[in-house]
Amino acid sequence: MHPEIYPRLLMTLNLNDYKPKPSATYRLQLNHDFNFADARAVVPYLSRLGISHVYLSPIVSARPGSVHCYDGIDPGRINPELGGEYEFQLLVEALHDHRMGTILDIVPNHLAIHIQNQYMRDVLIHGPDSRFADMFDIFFDEHPRGKIVLPFLGQPLVDAIRDREITLEFKTQDEVRGFCFCYYEHRFPLSVVSTLALLGCFVSTDELLRKFSVPLEPDTQAFRQQSDRTRNVYEHVLTMARDDENVQAQLKEIAHWINGHESTAAPLPENLQRLIAQGSQESAATAQFQNGPDRLRLLAALTEFQNYELEYWKTHVRNLNYRRFFNINHLIGVRVEDEAVFQLTHRLYLDLLREKAIQGLRVDHIDGLRDPAAYLQRLHAAFAHAGQPPWILVEKILGDNEYLPRSWHVQGATGYEFLNHVNRLSTSPSGFQQLAQRYRMFNTGETIPVVLRAKPFARLDLEARRRAALRLFPAELDRLARRFTRLARESRVYSTEDVDSPDDARFFQQARKVIAESIAHLSVYRTYHAADMETEQDHLDRQHWLGAIHAARESIQKMPARRKSVNRALREQAFNLLEFICVGEHAEYGARFQPRRLQPEQADLLADLQQLSGAIIAKGHEDTALYRHALLVSQNEVGGEPALATLSTHDFHRFNAIRFADWPLSLNVMSTHDTKRSADVRARIQCIADTYGDWARLEETAAEFLPVTHKNGYTVPHPILARFFWQSLLGFWPLADLENTDYEFESVIARGTGIDDSIGSPLRHRMRDYMQKVIREARVHTSWVNPDSDYEDALLKEIDDAIAKLIESESRLHHDDRSTTPGERDRFAQQFLTLTERLAIGGARLSLAWLTLACMCPGVPDIYQGGELWNFSLVDPDNRRRVDFRRREKILQQVVYELEHAGDWHDSTESPGQGNGLPEWLRKWPDGKIKMYALYRLLQLRREHPDLFVHGSFEPLITSIPEEAIAFLRRSDECVVLIAARTRARSSRPEYTSLRYADAARVSLPEGLPLKEGLLWQDILRLRNISLQSGQVDLPEDGLPLILVHKAAPEHG
């Protein structure tokens, strides 16, 4: 590695040494449509809202036009499409002026294979001899000629050449200069050998070659071995070509000729003829054009003399010899476990830390790293070196009762576990049980695809993981199985003298099956234990592997006879070897759970197993199984376990007590860029469990609007998919499209207007896109790899027609007298719209409760962009739509103005909110102002008492309805805060159009609180003072949570 060539950040921020205390973060999604300048423009608004840190998506250079910037190409350069270094500096200075900090989302796991990625480009040009070959997880030795396999083609190479999909270009820009193959948007640089062969036709290279003592024949093995010298020749020749316009013209001419745009009768230069001849001997592609045009023969020969093989992605994915991010072929794994690679790829972040330009880091996909603990230790040291308090957050999906390893140098996770605990807390146990019973009966019909029929989620999940391992990661499994086989032979697991004996092949197949099945049964995404360690985490991890291996053994034994191998003994030996490596349990290899030091090959194999398991489980569980299950789709979230749908208040308190003790700076999220749906959509769907009867009746008549058809033997849509669609639509159906239209309140509940085309058209378009993603991720009748356009078109047409009919019926119902009996075709629409209204009310109350928990529970609330108002978004890319910040700023100004003119705080004998906008905001809750108001008040409280919410105690309280309400205290020396919120939406009457609850609830107050007469508590949401003397306090029924703050004397709001 040569880190000294890496450009340092050329910026002087001149920031004072300031350390804003974490109070609340706000996630901004940056891309070319929302850049640093746009972010800078909203800083004053975010500051006024109460945000302490802006949380930015990746800022380094990414593939041109990237909409998310997780496909980085240069980790040391601030993305010019976002505004570059200058605009980033202005953003940081604006944040500093408002006493705000910055958290960066960084992606250490991978980079994009792209012509503008200078490191990967160098690898493609120079192959294993590249200065940056060790930067990436590339296994050159797996290819017989030391190449990297790039499965980027949409058809076999020969066909791509014949169809002129692959062409040749000559680039003169410094960053991508030289010849390259063009394949649609992809560019692949030519190797030194082939470049010099082409340039030698027009530029005299003999003198240069002699000068650097390189053989004159550029297609010889001797030439290839002179890597340092040929690099110098290569650079000199490119410089000559760049500076000579005549040479450039000739080079472009030959590219035009090869591409078939020009013809020539002149014979090919001798060195190109030799290139074709040698290529014909070594390449099947060149041989295919033996009698074809010279240009095709030359193009085919040129592909042979590269350090990479361009292959058809469907048939050659098993030949991959590099680590990917999940199964995305154009994202290649980076070896950040190497100190030099770490320094090279983190120079920019370390500079920004030292310059106090950033205050925290969010590490994307920590499970992809080979050694997360060592990596995080390096980051922690970087904060210490910069003189900053560390705030390192990891994107980590935690299973039930799983916590971050305590040995990690982190301050917390990104909050998926918080989201799912809140989700489960809010699920009605009785309603969910009814839904589950109905789902089991409904899931056995003949119209259900066999792959889904009569299967509980655990089985769906296992089969999806197994499928992901075998179909999405075949090359990775092969690599592990080959190494297993070699290790087994060397450790004499089975006896053979023949290196290529049949036992090798049979053991390989058994090892492959054993590895896949064991990973599929893991109860966590991945483990982290090291071969020679014996910590608490190592012990837990070995237990995870022990359970997985035993379950895999039983699973394979239960498989149908046709899938059992006759080589049971070899399979058992494979299990034993895996058990030894991961657990150390088997008596033949070592004592169970005893410290032992594995050989390097065994330790590497353990690390590779752990690194792969997270990707397999994520693709199987998160990206497949969660799209195949439709009991209650609000449970199908990142890190969610639909089988664990409910949670007691006691368990939720226990979860928060652990976070308070160990990770008080973890993020509390309810929506992120990765969630399957926004919090407001999820909250509505959650309420289906509280309205089971209405949902059951709706589902029984749903076929009127979404009839079942048959296409190529498929049921379109099958009942599970239809259920997925209807629940999603109930959560997504507009109060109105609040992002684009200022709907009047009456149009939402009283139906003063219908949905016009300005709302209906985007609604249909967004739902079509969403359902296409659902069916492709589910991989039942179609997929991203093998899309079935006929099936997709049929399904999406049915969905589009159903939404159009709903909109049409709503318009008719609006113009008709609501008291009259609707026509037959409008009966379902009235059912749907009535249930939508009930779910909208319940969902709004639940969203306000969730917002309160996120802001008041241990942790730091993270607001996903736009979430300060109602935000009805679906999965990516729907949740990356541009946010209307002007509208939000205007609403915040109105809220602050009303508060500033609200008058004095009053006592509890008066009706709450006299003289301010609260009654109006509650009455017109669909406009979102009530959510903005609640968030503003909560964040102002956190800003006033930042230490309370990091170091103050967390004390659970008892409510009169513990299954429907939760309460707790946050206490420090400076103040006490009592928080109480209803966590269920059941307590309402169908005729209500307000957020009011129908029943009472109380919180029991513990001893030791300041309850004496004259000591007042501030109800910060209702702007009133309360004196607590009875040992209990009532939860108001207006739909807002209760937040009481103890103050020594009344204060003004």
Q: C-alpha 924: how far from its chain's center? A: 35
Average pLDDT over residues 195-223: 58
Contact partners, residue 20, CB within 8 Å, separation at least 6: 52, 53, 99, 100, 101, 359
Q: Where are the domains of the chain?
A: 3-109+336-414, 118-123+139-324, 453-627, 683-845, 877-1046
Average pLDDT over residues 817-845: 81
**If you write DSSP's letter for every residue of 332-347 in order, what string do you get?**
EEB-TTSHHHHHHHHH
Query: What whole-number distance in Å separates Cα of residue 902 and Cα of residue 75?
Result: 50
Nearest to 627 by CA among 487, 561, 708, 721: 721
> Which has the minimum average pLDDT: 251-260, 620-629, 805-814, 1016-1025?
251-260
What is the tens place of the pLDDT at every residue in 542-556?
Answer: 999 999 999 999 999
Q: What is the pLDDT of residue 216?
A: 47
For residues 248 and 987, which has the higher predicted lDDT (pLDDT)? 248
For residues 189 and 388, which has the higher predicted lDDT (pLDDT)? 189
CATH number at 877-1046: 2.60.40.1180
What is the tens place of the pLDDT at every residue in 450-465?
Answer: 888 889 999 999 999 9
Average pLDDT over residues 113-133: 95
Does residue 989 carry a pLDDT above 70?
Answer: no
Q: What is the pLDDT of residue 915?
A: 45
Q: What is the pLDDT of residue 644?
A: 87
Q: How far is CA 472 from CA 288, 523, 612, 1003, in A?
A: 31, 20, 12, 52
Q: Structure pTM?
A: 0.92
Query: What whole-number distance in Å separates Cα of residue 740 and Cα of residue 755?
Result: 13
Average pLDDT over residues 993-1012: 83
Does residue 563 carry a pLDDT above 70?
Answer: no
Q: How confident is the model at residue 4 (pLDDT cuts 50, 70, 90)?
A: very low
**Secondary element (H or E) of residue 53:** strand 53-56
Q: What is the pLDDT of residue 587?
A: 40
Contact partners, residue 170, CB within 8 Å, separation at least 6: 178, 179, 241, 248, 251, 252, 255
CA dihedral of 267, 269, 272, 273, whole degrees rounded to 10: 50
> In this structure, how many other beta carbons lie within 10 angstroms of the beta carbon of residue 229?
17
Unique residue bearing structure tokens 């789709």: 633
For residues 985 and 1034, which has the higher predicted lDDT (pLDDT)? 1034
Q: CB of 875 within 8 A of CB of 993?
A: no
Query: What whole-number distance in Å separates Cα of residue 85 and Cα of residue 95?
Result: 15
For residues 173 and 936, which has the higher predicted lDDT (pLDDT)? 936
Lateral strand order in the sheet of 328-333: 110-112, 328-333, 324-325
Nearest to 731 by CA among 778, 684, 787: 684
Q: What is the pLDDT of residue 58?
A: 98
For residues 994 and 1025, which has the higher predicted lDDT (pLDDT)? 1025
Q: What is the pLDDT of residue 157?
A: 93
Query: What whole-number distance in Å separates Cα of residue 382 and Cα of residue 354?
Result: 8
Does residue 752 carry a pLDDT above 50?
Answer: no
What is the tens place of the pLDDT at every residue in 45-82?
Answer: 999 999 999 999 999 999 999 999 999 999 999 999 99
Does residue 40 carry a pLDDT above 70?
Answer: yes
Does residue 808 carry a pLDDT above 70?
Answer: yes
Does residue 425 carry a pLDDT above 60?
Answer: yes
**Tokens found for residue 563:** 């899938």
Q: CB of 592 within 8 A of CB of 579?
A: no
For residues 219 and 893, which has the higher predicted lDDT (pLDDT)? 893
Q: How far is CA 314 from CA 23, 333, 1018, in A?
A: 48, 20, 64
Q: What is the pLDDT of residue 227?
A: 58
Q: What is the pLDDT of residue 598?
A: 62
Q: What is the pLDDT of residue 643?
A: 87
Query: What whole-number distance in Å separates Cα of residue 23 and Cα of residue 939?
Result: 8
Does residue 98 carry a pLDDT above 90?
Answer: yes
For residues 900 and 739, which has the higher predicted lDDT (pLDDT)? 900
For residues 199 and 98, which has the higher predicted lDDT (pLDDT)? 98
Q: How confident is the model at residue 820 (pLDDT cuts 50, 70, 90)?
A: low
Over 239-258, what HEC string results?
HHHHHCHHHHHHHHHHHHHH
Angle at 607 (CA atoms; ends 603, 608), nearest 5 degrees: 115
Does residue 129 carry a pLDDT above 60?
Answer: yes
Average pLDDT over residues 811-831: 71
For residues 173 and 719, which has the higher predicted lDDT (pLDDT)? 719
Nearest to 679 by CA among 843, 922, 794: 843
User: What is the pLDDT of the chain when averaged over all its residues?
Assistant: 86
Q: How confident is the model at residue 705 (pLDDT cuts 50, 70, 90)?
A: confident
Average pLDDT over residues 645-657: 96
Number of residues in the chain? 1053
Does residue 440 carry a pLDDT above 50?
Answer: yes
Continuous H helices in 109-262: 118-126, 157-162, 192-199, 206-211, 221-225, 227-243, 245-258
Q: What is the pLDDT of residue 235?
A: 76
What is the tens place of the pLDDT at every residue in 592-637?
Answer: 444 455 678 888 999 999 999 999 999 999 999 999 999 999 999 9
What is the tens place of the pLDDT at every residue in 252-271?
Answer: 777 887 787 655 555 666 76
Q: What is the pLDDT of residue 217?
A: 52
Does residue 688 carry a pLDDT above 90?
Answer: yes
What is the tens place of the pLDDT at every residue in 915-961?
Answer: 458 988 999 999 999 999 999 999 999 999 999 999 999 999 999 99
**Tokens found for residue 634:** 């609000």
Tell which CATH classification among 1.10.3720.10, 3.20.20.80, 3.90.420.10, 3.30.43.10 matches the domain 3-109+336-414.
3.20.20.80
DSSP code of residue 191: P
Q: What is the pLDDT of residue 595?
A: 46
Does residue 537 carry a pLDDT above 90?
Answer: no
> Which has the minimum average pLDDT: 202-211, 451-460, 768-777, 782-791?
202-211
Average pLDDT over residues 676-696: 95
Continuous H helices in 73-173: 84-97, 118-126, 157-162
Q: CB of 542 within 8 A of CB of 579?
A: no
For residues 227 and 375, which has the higher predicted lDDT (pLDDT)? 375
Q: What is the pLDDT of residue 985?
A: 76
Q: What is the pLDDT of residue 192?
A: 86
Unique residue bearing structure tokens 């991890």: 541
Q: What is the pLDDT of residue 228?
A: 62
Q: CB of 872 within 8 A of CB of 734?
A: yes
For residues 304 and 247, which has the higher predicted lDDT (pLDDT)? 304
Contact partners, residue 429, CB within 8 Å, separation at least 6: 646, 963
Average pLDDT over residues 795-824: 78
Q: How far is CA 748 from CA 752, 903, 914, 927, in A?
A: 7, 32, 26, 9
Query: What whole-number distance in Å separates Cα of residue 229 and Cα of residue 242?
Result: 20
Nearest to 805 by CA among 688, 702, 693, 699: 702
Q: CB of 397 within 8 A of CB of 656?
A: no
Does residue 95 carry a pLDDT above 90?
Answer: yes
Backbone CA torsion sign across 416, 419, 425, 428: negative
DSSP code of residue 34: B
> Which has the minimum average pLDDT: 21-35, 138-152, 340-354, 699-713?
699-713
